[in-house]
């Protein structure tokens, strides 16, 4: 099983996918002459993921992990409607075929995700030890993740905590919603960086810094929408308010229309390196189209 790492084989043993003489055994079992070892990898049922020559904006890389600055418009891993052209396809091409077997074979190396139309920092594991170590940090909510969000309206209070239970929407399964009775706990800490005013000195939008205590699907987008301040450009959770658009210049309206998606950028990422055992911190400047949008509203 040369294509599998030692830790992956141990996972197969512990999950009863490797047996000896039809019995479950511990990973430290010493095999004897005549033992019959059965392996059930089920790779035949998995659609192979191929490497593709897609350029990656690599912020940091070593033998254990890689940190990239993901542009808006590209999906993290293959899935329904996105069989190729993803970050994972690019990573297989960059890291080699062995990368296919890191963690989950359907999304190798991935320990967290950001939405297709969100830009910013993502860390990817290059081996199973790192994958588990980083996954444990995310589960313990010890990873530092800070986003810059540009949302409609003036948010009140200017800083605070949004907490709810997030689950799939009852009406649209591609969307998330808050609930008092079901779902996973989602906690977003936010603070106002700048209120963006039009020529009449009216606040039409706000630049926020959002720190994730948890990282649920669409968490920031749902929380800000439910607070009455949807992200600018978010076509799923919040339409542009016509009253605000009428107060903006034509150039600003065009900037909004040209956004690749919601005005959200993962600007900061910090975590404990699994093998070097030291904290690493990374920053990524927001894309030009977001800084131009901010300046356009203010001008």
Active site residues: 115
Determine the Cα–Cα distance for residues 163 and 148; give it in Å rounded to an integer. Answer: 19
Which residue(s) pair with 208 in the sheet?
Answer: 149, 192
Distance of CA 114 to the CA centre of its chain: 2
Please provide the DSSP assignment of 22-76 as one string.
TB---TTPPP-TT--EEE---GGGSPPPPP------EEEE-SSEEEEEEPTT--S
DSSP assignment of 183-238 equals SEEEEEEEEEEEEEE-TTS-EEEEEEEEEESS--TTHHHHHHHHTT-PBTT-TTT-
**What are residue 61's DSSP bridge partners?**
66
CA dihedral for 109, 114, 115, 120, sign (positive or negative): negative
Both tokens of 174, joined, read 């591609």
The vertex-119 CA angle with 118 and 123, nearest 5°, equals 110
């Amino acid at each position: 099983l040369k294509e599998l790492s030692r830790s992956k084989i141990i996972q197969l043993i512990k999950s009863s996918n490797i047996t000896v003489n039809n019995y479950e055994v511990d990973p430290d079992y010493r095999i004897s002459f005549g033992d019959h070892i059965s392996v059930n990898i089920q790779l035949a049922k998995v659609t192979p993921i191929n490497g593709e020559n897609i350029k990656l904006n690599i912020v940091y890389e070593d033998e254990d992990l890689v940190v990239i600055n993901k542009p808006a418009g590209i999906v993290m891993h293959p899935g329904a409607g996105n069989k190729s052209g993803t970050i994972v396809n690019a990573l297989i091409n960059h890291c080699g075929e062995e990368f296919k077997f890191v963690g989950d074979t359907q999304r190798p190396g991935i320990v967290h995700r950001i939405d297709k139309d969100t830009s910013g920092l993502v860390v990817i594991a290059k081996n199973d030890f790192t994958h588990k170590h980083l996954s444990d940090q995310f589960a313990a909510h010890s990873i530092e993740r800070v986003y810059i969000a540009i949302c409609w309206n003036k948010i009140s209070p200017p800083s605070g905590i949004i907490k709810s239970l997030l689950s799939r929407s009852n009406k649209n399964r591609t969307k998330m919603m808050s609930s008092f009775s079901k779902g996973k706990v989602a906690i977003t800490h936010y603070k106002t960086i700048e209120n963006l005013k039009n020529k009449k000195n009216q606040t039409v939008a706000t630049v926020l810094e959002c720190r994730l205590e948890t990282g649920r699907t669409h968490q920031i987008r749902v929380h800000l929408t439910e607070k009455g301040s949807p992200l600018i450009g978010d076509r799923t959770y919040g339409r542009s308010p016509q009253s605000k658009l009428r107060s903006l210049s034509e150039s600003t309206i065009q900037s909004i229309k040209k956004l690749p998606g919601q005005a959200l950028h993962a600007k900061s990422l910090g975590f404990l390196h699994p093998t070097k055992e030291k904290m690493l911190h990374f920053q990524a400047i927001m894309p030009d189209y977001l800084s131009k949008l901010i300046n356009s509203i203010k001008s």
